[in-house]
């Protein structure tokens, strides 16, 4: 017997229309049955363009629609908590973009609500599902590097390097904007996935471009969010993790993670400035030999490649979400993982504001 399709409402039509929509279309169990936009005419235009049956500028109407069993939320971060909360209380499953919320307290509230209402909430942490990253995880689990001595992460891009790029929510710290929320949220999730919880951290968050033009007022407005993050974290055994993130580095290095142990070294990197999913190369060394490329097993390859490289791993995240819905239990990456990423981000801002090291509570302790 074929399982019934899951009707998904698309909420957030920037990244949502470009990436979530084709990912749901590619998965055999999901179909977009409704679209929300605060502008009714734009909602209808998107619905017409993609043959979506229902469009509305009323979020409650979206939640009450009989063909909506789930909601995809890719709005600006400040809307994540209120919209996800409303959807969960309405009994809808949620596919949620990162950062989870504006703070860990709100993320904890969503975690409790999802358990109470028995709905599946999945976070779009797609790096867990990229073939090269999956094989890196396998090699670490097998003990390839031995006891880890040092971890280095660089993610240096230029998405915000142009000072004429418009001022919007991304330029505002209190709206969840900035490099920390944009890519730091991913980094903290894969650190948790690959190495476990961290014990403490020291963070310095800086702004390189201090104002940006606001098209609505034709004036320059101040940027309060971060452009560059330099963070040192420690694992419980004292192993350091150095994280350098930037959205304003023209021709920056790209995205690399280096893991040095007493038996070997693993380096995973992608120097592309335009495709942050494809192009990862995995290098390894054991017994002091030169670094050499490690072939990623075919069994981990994407079954389908899309013109937009972001879609293939998100289809795999959607698959986890569908499995969580079917099985009636959380499957990573869920709100637990989203909460932990948010908790580490909160600690980064605390460290920056206080100018000192900050202890990161364990997830079990934070959840009480």
Q: Which residues are catalytic?
A: 98
Q: Which bin fits 67, alpha (ψ -120 to 50), beta or left (φ > 0)?
A: alpha
CB 43 within 8 Å of CB 55: yes
Tokens of 209: 């471009």
DSSP per-residue string spanning 267-288: EEEE--SS-SSS--EEEEEETT
Please name the residue ranges forming H helices in the chain: 15, 21-26, 40-50, 59-64, 80-89, 104-117, 131-141, 179, 185-195, 311-327, 335-354, 363-367
How far does CA 152 lie from the centroid of its chain? Answer: 19
Question: CA–CA separation, 39 vs 58, rounded Å?
Answer: 9
How many residues appear in the chain? 368
CA 226/CA 249 separation, integer angstroms: 13
- Using DSSP's 3-state secondary structure scheme, residue 111 falls into helix
* Nearest-5° Cα angle at 298, 145 to 2: 120
Q: In the Cβ-directed half-sphere of 243, how many Cα atoms lie within 13 Å?
A: 28
Give the strands of the sheet with 70-73, arranged side by side.
Answer: 54-56, 30-36, 6-11, 70-73, 93-96, 121-123
Both tokens of 275, joined, read: 């495709």
């Amino acid at each position: 017997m074929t399982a019934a399709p899951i009707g998904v409402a698309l909420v957030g039509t920037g990244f949502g229309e470009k990436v979530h929509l084709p990912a749901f279309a590619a998965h055999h169990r999901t179909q977009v049955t409704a679209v929300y936009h605060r502008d009714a005419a734009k909602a209808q235009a998107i619905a017409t363009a993609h043959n979506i049956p229902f469009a509305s500028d009323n979020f409650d109407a979206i939640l009450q629609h009989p063909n909506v069993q789930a909601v995809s939320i890719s709005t600006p971060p400040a809307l994540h908590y209120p919209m996800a909360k409303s959807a969960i209380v309405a009994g809808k499953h949620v596919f949620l973009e990162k950062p989870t919320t504006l703070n860990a307290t709100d993320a904890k509230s969503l975690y409790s609500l999802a358990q109470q209402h028995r709905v599946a909430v999945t976070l779009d942490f797609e790096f867990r599902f990229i073939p090269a990253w999956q094989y890196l995880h396998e090699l670490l689990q097998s003990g390839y590097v031995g006891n880890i001595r040092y971890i280095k992460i660089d993610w240096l891009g230029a998405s915000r390097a142009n000072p004429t790029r418009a001022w919007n929510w991304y330029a505002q710290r209190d709206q969840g904007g900035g490099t920390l929320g944009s890519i730091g949220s991913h980094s903290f999730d894969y650190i948790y996935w690959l190495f476990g919880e961290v014990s403490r951290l020291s963070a310095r968050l800086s702004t390189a471009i201090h104002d940006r033009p606001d098209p609505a007022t034709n004036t320059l407005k101040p940027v309060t969010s971060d452009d560059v993050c330099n963070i040192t974290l420690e694992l419980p055994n004292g192993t350091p993790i150095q994280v350098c993130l930037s959205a304003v580095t023209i021709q920056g290095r790209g995205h690399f993670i280096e893991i040095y142990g007493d038996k070997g070294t693993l380096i995973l990197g992608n120097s592309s400035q335009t495709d942050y999913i494809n192009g990862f190369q995995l290098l390894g060394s054991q017994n002091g030999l030169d670094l050499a490329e490690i072939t990623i097993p075919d069994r981990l390859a994407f079954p389908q490649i899309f013109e937009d490289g972001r879609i293939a791993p998100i289809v795999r995240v959607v698959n986890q979400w569908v499995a969580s819905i079917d099985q009636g239990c959380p499957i990573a990456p869920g709100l637990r993982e989203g909460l932990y990423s948010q908790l580490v981000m909160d600690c980064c801002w605390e460290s920056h504001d206080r100018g000192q090291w900050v202890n990161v509570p364990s997830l079990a302790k934070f959840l009480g």
